[in-house]
């Protein structure tokens, strides 16, 4: 199954010097004259393209003509001798000995040499990944996902599939999508309401009880009408849940997970990160390295409020007292100005957190954390779970969630549940943080937002 990719070639071009190589790939640029043509091709293994040179003297005029008539985006087969060129801009070049046009591209192929802005590219989600920027983003996305799986598997976590269609609204926020059979007026699931899951957490808790360490990695859905750069109706979440863990343990887990996955991803994408630094954010690698080399900061919510109150004039919302639900402007101030790096805000007032969080002794706050990162705001939300049946039931009644729907969840507290903690990472927000791309629509292949469902 193994075949040579352009990525592998560029990793060690010396190893392929003077070897005869074959690639099937797509044309990225094509210039030259009747005597010599320079073709760059990309095979999707990296954002980096390979320059190939074709000479009339060895290939003949017919092949040069065929090359001349090959359009950007065309699928080609090239065979030739590799030359290691350490002194050149690119340290490898292929001297074509055989060329085959596998399938040309029509002239209206929208990805041409001139740069297209990201808004315009969003109109063609089926083609936009054939630009360098989106290629880099989606390759990094793939590796990041795998490194997250790898981290969990190597640390004894069981991968668990929470149901997507569920009758429980895990956050109690009510921003759910209903699910109905397209072809029948009869409800597919009988009397039960059926919605798309907003979290896998409640179900993951049941599996942490018995399996100890579990995680989900799955799509979640919010019927959220906010039209911002960081909200989508469909996005992927990673939700670890660990029995016997308390708040500090999961913050440490988040720290270790993020660092390991980001570090390994950077190591696998030297070219893509170079490209992003040059084209998206020249501070990107510095920012990521700073995170890799420092422990996540922790600040108590009430201390954060005190700090924010000192500079209240900087904010639109100036009424900064205990009880304020932090807005993005406050979150960004905390991570960007106060800490200049990722920071976990802990012990939030229970009023604006979900019912399942552990109630602290002060009677006012819960053992929750939000991980805020520069440029994004909230990347992770997590908590220690309320394991005391009476406290949990009291809170369920207070917030008005149906006890009947959640009786199974309450019952988990009766069967050897010594507590658990967990968190949810918005995967696309993590991709935004790692790539420096500032709009969630550009890190999801086919983004879904309010009013928008292309293809």
Count of residues touching a second copy (by CB under 8 A):
111
Which has the closest alpha carbon to 432: 262, 200, 268, 299? 262
Q: Is 392 in the site for a second copy (CB under 8 A)?
A: no
Span from 159-167, 279-287, 328-336, 339-347 in contact with a second copy (CB under 8 A): 159-167
Q: Is 132 in the site for a second copy (CB under 8 A)?
A: no
Say whether 109 sits in a helix, a strand or coil. coil
Spatial contact of 350 and 365, defined as CB atoms under 8 Å apart: yes
End-to-end Cα separation, the chain, in angstroms:
32
Spatial contact of 420 and 241, defined as CB atoms under 8 Å apart: yes
Among 96, 162, 326, 344, binds a second copy (CB under 8 A): 162
CA–CA distance, 144 with 139 (Å, rounded to integer): 9
Q: Is 120 in the site for a second copy (CB under 8 A)?
A: no
Look up residue 263 and give its two tokens: 């570090």
Site string for a second copy, 407-436 (x = CB under 8 A): -xx-xx-xxxxxx-----------------
Instruction: State the pairing for strand pair 158-159/213-221.
Output: parallel
Q: At closest approach, how far in Å is the CB of 359 from a second copy?
A: 17
Torsion of CA 258, 297, 335, 322, to 10 degrees: 120
Q: Is 138 in the site for a second copy (CB under 8 A)?
A: yes
Binding positions for a second copy, 332-351, rule CB under 8 A: none
Q: Is 75 in the site for a second copy (CB under 8 A)?
A: yes
The secondary structure of residue 170, as a DSSP letter, is T
Binding positions for a second copy, 250-269, rule CB under 8 A: 252-253, 256
Binding positions for a second copy, 361-380, rule CB under 8 A: none
Spatial contact of 195 and 169, defined as CB atoms under 8 Å apart: yes
Cβ closer to a second copy: 176 or 421? 176
Which has the closest alpha carbon to 176: 193, 191, 197, 192? 197
Contacts of 74 (CB under 8 A, 6+ apart): 26, 27, 101, 102, 103, 104, 105
Binding positions for a second copy, 203-232, rule CB under 8 A: 203, 206-207, 209-213, 218-219, 221, 223, 225
Among 57, 62, 113, 174, binds a second copy (CB under 8 A): 174
Q: Is 275 in the site for a second copy (CB under 8 A)?
A: no
Q: Is 451 in the site for a second copy (CB under 8 A)?
A: yes
Total length of the chain: 455
Q: Is 233 in the site for a second copy (CB under 8 A)?
A: yes
Among 18, 62, 182, 293, binds a second copy (CB under 8 A): 182
Q: Is 270 in the site for a second copy (CB under 8 A)?
A: no
Q: At closest approach, how far in Å is the CB of 23 from a second copy?
A: 10
Which has the closest alpha carbon to 136: 447, 438, 435? 435
Q: Is 192 in the site for a second copy (CB under 8 A)?
A: yes
Cβ closer to a second copy: 249 or 340? 249
Among 38, 40, 43, 264, binds a second copy (CB under 8 A): 43
Q: Which residue has the tokens 């960007």?
A: 336
Burial class (CB in 10 A: 0-12, 13-18, 19+), 64: buried
Cβ closer to a second copy: 3 or 20? 3
Q: Is 178 in the site for a second copy (CB under 8 A)?
A: yes
Q: At closest approach, how far in Å is the CB of 186 from a second copy?
A: 9
Taking CA atoms, 50 is separated from 3, 6, 26, 256, 345, in Å, by 16, 7, 10, 36, 46
HSE toward the beta carbon, residue 419, CA cutoff 13 A: 16
Q: Is 290 in the site for a second copy (CB under 8 A)?
A: no
Q: At closest approach, how far in Å is the CB of 430 from a second copy?
A: 13
């Amino acid at each position: 199954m193994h075949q040579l990719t352009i990525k592998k070639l560029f990793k060690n071009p010396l190893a392929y010097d003077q070897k005869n190589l074959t690639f099937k790939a797509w044309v990225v640029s094509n210039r030259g004259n009747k005597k010599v043509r320079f073709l760059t091709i990309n095979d999707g293994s990296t954002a980096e393209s390979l320059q190939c040179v074709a000479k009339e003297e060895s290939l003949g005029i017919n092949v040069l003509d065929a090359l001349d008539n090959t359009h950007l985006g065309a699928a080609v087969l090239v065979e030739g001798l590799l030359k290691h060129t350490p002194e050149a801009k690119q340290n490898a070049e292929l001297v074509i000995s055989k060329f085959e046009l596998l399938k040309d591209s029509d002239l209206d192929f929208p990805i041409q040499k001139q740069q297209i802005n990201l808004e315009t590219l969003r109109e063609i989600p089926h083609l936009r990944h054939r630009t360098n920027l989106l290629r880099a983003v989606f390759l990094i996305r793939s590796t990041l996902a795998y490194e997250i799986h790898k981290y969990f598997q190597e640390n004894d976590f069981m991968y668990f599939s929470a149901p997507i269609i569920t009758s429980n609204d895990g956050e109690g926020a009510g921003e759910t999508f209903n699910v109905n059979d397209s072809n029948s007026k009869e409800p597919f699931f009988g009397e039960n309401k059926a919605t798309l899951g907003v979290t896998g957490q409640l179900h993951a808790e049941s599996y942490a009880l018995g399996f100890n360490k579990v995680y989900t990695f799955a799509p979640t859905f919010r019927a959220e009408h906010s039209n911002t750069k960081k909200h989508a109706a469909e996005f992927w979440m990673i939700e670890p849940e660990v029995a016997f863990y308390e708040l500090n343990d999961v913050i440490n887990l988040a720290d270790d997970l993020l660092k390991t996955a980001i570090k390994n991803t950077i190591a696998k994408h030297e070219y893509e990160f170079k490209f992003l630094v040059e084209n998206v954010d020249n501070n990107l690698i510095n920012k990521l390295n700073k995170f890799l080399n420092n422990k996540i900061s922790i600040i108590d919510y009430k201390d954060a409020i005190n700090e924010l109150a000192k500079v209240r004039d900087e904010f639109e919302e100036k009424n900064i007292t205990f009880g304020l639900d932090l807005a993005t402007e406050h979150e960004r101030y905390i991570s960007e100005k106060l800490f200049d790096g990722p920071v976990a805000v802990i012990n939030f007032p229970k009023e604006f957190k979900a019912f399942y969080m552990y109630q602290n002794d002060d009677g006012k706050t819960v053992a929750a954390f939000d991980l805020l990162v520069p440029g994004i705001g909230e990347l992770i939300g997590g908590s220690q779970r309320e394991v005391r049946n009476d406290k949990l039931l009291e809170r369920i009644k207070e917030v008005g969630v149906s006890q009947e729907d959640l009786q199974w969840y309450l019952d988990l507290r009766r069967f050897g549940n010594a507590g658990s903690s967990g968190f949810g990472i918005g995967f696309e927000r993590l991709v935004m943080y790692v790539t420096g791309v500032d709009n969630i629509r550009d890190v999801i292949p086919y983004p879904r937002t309010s009013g928008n469902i292309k293809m």
